[in-house]
């Protein structure tokens, strides 16, 4: 595909269940970012990958959140034992190597914890 692809687009889950969100970045993009956005709020940084490594995990809100990236491509964000406050849109973005490069966003996964 030409753009960043995220799946699922919508996810409703029961409190306490685990969820896995997937991001397929643009081919060749080495940098990958996860953000979350609650309704009416700004983007909250979660984690950043350069290749398969995550030099910056500072934004993960708790140890229930984890992310991995394999093969320098697809990334998964896992939330364990979901809570209602985890409800948000989870956005993934990728960018190519080098400075002054644009980050392209996927359309996001809207997570609702009931």
Measured from the CB atom, is 16 or 97 closer to another protein?
A: 97
35 binds another protein (CB under 8 A): yes
Rounded Cα distance between 29 and 11, Å, is 26
Rg (CA), the chain: 13
**Per-residue string for binding with another protein, 38-77, x by CB under 8 A?**
---xxx-x--x-x----xx---------------------
* DSSP state letters, 11-47: EEE-TT--EEEEEE--TT--EEEEEEE-TT---EEEE
Interface pick for another protein out of 33, 34, 65, 90 (rule CB under 8 A): 33
Rounded Cα distance between 69 and 11, Å, is 21
34 binds another protein (CB under 8 A): no
Please give the residue ranges that form the binding site for another protein (CB under 8 A).
30-31, 33, 35, 41-43, 45, 48, 50, 55-56, 91, 93, 95, 97-108
């Amino acid at each position: 595909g030409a753009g960043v692809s995220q799946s699922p687009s919508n996810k409703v889950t029961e409190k306490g269940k685990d969820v896995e969100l997937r991001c397929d970045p643009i081919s060749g993009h080495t940098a990958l970012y996860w953000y979350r956005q609650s309704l009416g709020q700004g983007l909250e940084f979660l984690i950043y990958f350069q290749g398969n490594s995550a030099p910056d995990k500072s934004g993960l809100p708790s140890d229930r959140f984890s992310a991995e990236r394999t093969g320098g491509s697809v990334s998964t964000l896992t939330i364990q034992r979901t809570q209602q406050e985890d409800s948000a849109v989870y956005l993934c973005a990728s960018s190519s190597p080098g400075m002054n490069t644009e980050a392209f966003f996927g359309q996001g996964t809207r997570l609702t914890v009931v």
